[in-house]
Amino acid sequence: MVVAPAQPVHQALRHWAQAQPLPQRWGIALSGGADSTALLHAAQALWPGRIHALHINHGLQAAATDFERHCQQLCSALQVPLSVLSVDAQAQAGQSPEDAARRARYRALATAAQAAGLREVWLAQHQDDQLETLLLALSRGAGVPGLAAMPPVFERHGQRFARPLLSVAGEAIRDWLRGEALAYCEDPTNADTSYTRNRIRHQVTPALRQAFPAIADMASRTAQHMAQAQQLLQELAALDLTATGSPPQIAHLQALSPERQANALRHWLKHSHAVVPSTAQLDALLQQVAACTTRGHDIHLKLGPGFVRREQAALRYDANL
């Protein structure tokens, strides 16, 4: 059975389809929760026969089997093909459970989408999720990339992902589901305030909404501004690295302002070596670059799994040294 699409979700998806061409077939990451359930219903109502659902079973809680069963029953009722993948989402030493689950989920979604020939995968994150992501970034002292929060379109593991519901309030999604008596799963871990995001959701955002009712709209606007600023910083870094060379020549780096040095080095480390330095690490590297005025001055600084070191007139990054 296909129900009439949720009005706010319907509007958002219509707008999304007008802004860019849709692939012939695409995937929807279906957890079984309210947001992805609404996204699946609306997308199938708008574009029947073009949707393929993807469910990831993390195996991290007893309810995982119930989530999977709900997704199977829902897709059967809507006549939507479903791929189910089980993943090992156990955190490694020093890794948060949320980060481990997220990384495993994206790898599995990309693998499943590519196996099914899906050019794009839609995620059901919405405006409230964007607000939480921005607040989480602020709590960690993030810079421009973190304050850009969640991009509407991105690529990971060679697969394109999209978030067409970032303009839709989470409560509007749930109101529609309740009004249509559409079943979805409640994740019991969403109430666990030992997780930072849940503390923000249950303790911080209610107070912010009471003081500033339009806070979610404003946060979305801020994230868009930060995304634009980040794009400009990346373009500037690319120009500066063209001048300094890659790996960067130390003398050419020293000719830049400290701010442009930091921007160029951050870009080089991330895009050439998949290393994201902390503020303290980047400041230490800038101090070493500034002090490198003689041939005998050495640079050997721990960053991520490896080291930045001086090799003649240039910087070099070596992993696992």
Domain assignment present for residue 225? The answer is: no
Residues 73 and 22 in one domain: yes
Domain assignment present for residue 239? The answer is: no
Tell me the mean pLDDT in the region 228-245. Answer: 96
Tell me the mean pLDDT in the region 183-212. Answer: 90
Domain assignment present for residue 234? The answer is: no
| Residue 156: pLDDT band with limits 50, 70, 90 | very high
Residues 100 and 195 in one domain: yes
- Give the pLDDT score at 87: 77
Residues 212 and 252 in one domain: no
- Give the pLDDT score at 95: 55
Of the candidates 48, 50, 41, the one whose C-alpha atom is nearest the C-alpha of residue 23 is: 50
Domain assignment present for residue 92? The answer is: yes
Residues 55 and 99 in one domain: yes
Domain assignment present for residue 53? The answer is: yes
Look at the block and give the residue holding tokens 């990831």: 56
| Residue 61: pLDDT band with limits 50, 70, 90 | low
Residues 50 and 160 in one domain: yes
Domain assignment present for residue 224? The answer is: no
| Residue 90: pLDDT band with limits 50, 70, 90 | low
What dihedral angle (degrees, nearest 10) is formed by the CA atoms of 57, 129, 29, 166? 180
CA distances to 145, 181, 238, 239, 254 from 232, rounded to whole Å, are 11, 46, 10, 11, 21
pLDDT at 93 over 80: no
Look at the block and give the residue holding tokens 């699409």: 5
Residues 184 and 94 in one domain: yes
Residues 204 and 111 in one domain: yes
Residues 175 and 258 in one domain: no
Tell me the mean pLDDT in the region 61-90. Answer: 87
Of the candidates 278, 245, 281, the one whose C-alpha atom is nearest the C-alpha of residue 264 is: 245
**Cα dihedral 283, 285, 286, 288 sign:** positive
Tell me the mean pLDDT in the region 299-308. Answer: 89
pLDDT at 34 over 60: yes
Tell me the mean pLDDT in the region 15-44. Answer: 95
Cα–Cα dist 183/113, whole Å? 25
Cα–Cα dist 286/303, whole Å? 13
| Residue 149: pLDDT band with limits 50, 70, 90 | very high
Mean predicted lDDT score pLDDT of the chain? 90
- Give the pLDDT score at 63: 74
- Give the pLDDT score at 261: 96
Residues 97 and 191 in one domain: yes
pLDDT at 3 over 70: no
Tell me the mean pLDDT in the region 144-161. Answer: 94
Domain assignment present for residue 2? The answer is: no
Overall number of domains in the chain: 2
The last residue of one of the domains, among 197, 217, 237, is: 217
Whether residue 114 contacts residue 34, with contact meaning beta carbons closer than 8 Å, is answered with no
> Domain with 60 in it: what CATH number?
3.40.50.620
Residues 143 and 277 in one domain: no
Cα–Cα dist 118/86, whole Å? 19
What is the span of the domain harbouring residue 255?
245-319
| Residue 69: pLDDT band with limits 50, 70, 90 | very high
- Give the pLDDT score at 321: 53
**At residue 243, what are phi and psi to the nearest 5 degrees?**
-75, -40
The last residue of one of the domains, among 217, 233, 263, is: 217
Tell me the mean pLDDT in the region 276-281. Answer: 91
Domain assignment present for residue 172? The answer is: yes
- Give the pLDDT score at 1: 46
Residues 175 and 313 in one domain: no
Model confidence, pTM = 0.87
- Please write the tens of the pLDDT for every residue from 96-142: 667 777 888 899 999 999 999 999 999 999 999 999 999 999 999 99
Residues 184 and 263 in one domain: no
